[in-house]
Amino acid sequence: MDKLFNGFLALIACNVFVILFLMLYKILEGARLSLQTYGFSFFWGASWEPFPPTPDMQPSFGVLPLIQGTLVTSAMALLLATPISLGIGLTLSEFSPKRLNFLVSFLVELLAAIPSVIYGLWGIFILIPFLQNHIYPALQATFGFIPLFQESIRGPCVLTGSIVLAVMIIPTISAISRDVFAAVPDSQREAIIALGATRWETARMVMSYARSGVIGAIILGLGRAVGETMAITMVIGNSFNLFNSLFDPSYTLASIIANEFTEASSPPVYISALIEVGLVLFVLNLAINAFAIVIVWQTMKRVKGS
Amino acid sequence: MSYKIEIEDLNAWFNAKKVLKDIYMKIPEKAVTAIIGPSGCGKTTLIRCINRMHELSPGGKVSGRVLLNGENIYAKDVDPVIIRRKVGMVFQKPNPFPMMSVYDNVAAGLKLTGLNDKSKLDEIVEKSLKLTSLWEEVKNELHKSGASLSGGQQQRLCIARALAVEPEVILMDEPTSALDPLASAKIEQLIRRLSKKYTIIIVTHNMQQAARVSDFTGFLYLGELVEFDETKKIFENPKTELTEKYITGEFG
């Protein structure tokens, strides 16, 4: 009976691999035409011409601006969200009274449950007017000497996209980091308190103890940011260009698929190119997650000291 | 005889439950004082009141006075962080910091005080590890994680960590209960050696241990200090029937 049950479980577990490989296979199959036509130039090309201006030209596709848009908005979202999220996680696990904890945890998890299209609407109608009228001009006035803050200010732009993404990944990172902080044994807190640590020093010890979990939390947030589609599509401006300034509009891998898939019935290489964009996104996310696992694993090994 | 710590009218609670009742106790300097008593009698709570750790437990509350060098550590303007630097603590289960090396474990308390001078740190770390007879065993493994040592070594590391900040008093909460007999014996020898320089208060449920290592013994029962005297007197000629019953193993 045990054997049967074990076999049954193994079979279910194998499904994960089957699904992964089926997906990869289907994506590769769909992207084959584009892969064959454009080869590596697809990855560092910077033009997106499904319908060339003159009939004698071939359609051309290159996703470098999409990769730039995706990676830069995700990285900036991480930069903005991580300190806030770790602050929330640390407050909830170390500083705030129990009753408040429950309320704040509930609100943070509620944030995670809001559909991303709502974040997009909030971005368009509330965040963009506010940023465009109050924050961005001030930013430009202060940091205008840096090229990243030059050029004319647009509402939908890289910075707006990053901010919306940051708000969206805060619940993920703070909820996980709260859990990993709370999992630090009390014996560790008592050890450092008994040595004469202040509350802040105790909190620092907790962060250091939990760092592998914190890295895991951050990278899960990054994975979410990279794959996020709806909200970022609504606020990034959807302009296929390599940008120089954070106030420039941009485009992401996920956004272009969402925007163009329904219209990409012909030529056949167009839809194949969009599927290849999906392949890039897939591989990027897989790489981020693998990277996360390796880091978590490494720090765990260091902590265990064997 | 001079007293390092004087406990006066000490009461402690967990929420509504009173776990220490009107404790009066005078703890002599540079000697080992053992606190014995059955499980749940308040031994641990009593020593946690001496470094102001009890108030950090959920529902923990304290009233009364604990005088360290004649000054009440529960006075309004006293910072518990300062008290804990003077009154070190060793816990029941060894709790080295696993993310820190052996060296950094010992230096952890010093770094909290803002000491960053490498040669000074080296010196104190070596001294503390030598005091706990750990130096010879780990001097080539100072960079390894504190959690890589054996249980007995971990506990001596924790003692070294407590000693490094040069406290005046060391509280030990059943420091050998998680260790094998050999490792326990080493800790007991260490306690004897340390008593020449430090005031040590040790909680133990092991009466033989109390008899072996301590100069004075207090018997705690249901939150009350039943008897407190020289260890010899407690074990050979206890004044109360309750103490006699406990040390002869009639209950506990």
Residues B102-119: tens digit of each pLDDT: 999 999 999 998 888 999
Which amino acid, B139? K
Phi-psi region of B240 (alpha: psi -120 to 50; beta: other; left: phi over 0): beta
Best of A195, A207, A300 to disrupt the B interface (most B CBs within 10 Å) is A195
Classify B101 as helix, strand or coil: strand
Q: Decide: residue A157, CB within 10 A, 0-12 exposed, 13-18 middle, 19+ buried.
A: buried
Query: Counting every residue, how long is chain B?
Result: 252
What residue numbers bound the domain in which A256 lies?
A: 2-305
Yes or no, beta carbons of B91 and A193 under 8 Å apart: no
Q: What is the pLDDT of residue A303?
A: 59
Q: What CATH number should be reported for the domain holding residue A281? A: 1.10.3720.10
Domain count, chain A: 1
CA A290 to chain centre: 15
Q: Report percent pLDDT > 90 for chain A.
A: 62
Show which residues on chain B lie within 8 Å of chain A, measured between beta carbons. 51, 53, 56, 81-82, 84-85, 88-89, 91, 93, 95-99, 108-109, 112-113, 144-148, 158, 161-162, 165
Whole-number mean pLDDT of chain B? 94
Determine the Cα–Cα distance for residues A277 and B20; give it in Å rounded to an integer.
69
Mean pLDDT (whole number) for A216-238: 91
- In this prediction, residue A304 carries a pLDDT of 56
Top-ranked range on mean pLDDT: pick from A52-56, A278-282, A302-306: A278-282
ipTM of the complex: 0.92
Cα-Cα-Cα-Cα torsion B159, B164, B166, B169, nearest 10 degrees, comes to -10
Contacts of A280 (CB under 8 A, 6+ apart): A43, A63, A66, A67, A253
Chain A residue numbers with beta carbons less than 8 Å from the beta carbon of B161 are 191, 195
Please give the Cα distance from B141 to A244 (Å, whole number).
51
pLDDT band at residue A306 using 50, 70 and 90 as cut-offs? very low
CB–CB of A196 and B97 under 8 A?
A: no
Residues in B closer than 8 angstroms to A94, CB to CB, are none
Report the predicted TM-score, pTM, of the whole model to 2 decimal places. Answer: 0.84
- If residue B60 lies in a helix (H) or strand (E), which one and from where to where? strand B60-68
Q: What is the pLDDT of residues A63-102, one digit of tens each?
A: 999 999 999 999 999 999 999 999 999 999 988 887 888 8
Instruction: Give just the sign of the alpha carbon dihedral A237, A238, A240, A242.
Output: positive
Decide: helix, strand or coil at residue B91. coil
B64-117 per-position pLDDT tens digit: 999 999 999 999 999 999 999 999 999 999 999 998 999 999 999 999 988 889
What is the C-alpha separation between A212 and A180, in angstroms, rounded?
A: 9
Say if the Cβ atoms of A195 and B161 lie within 8 Å: yes
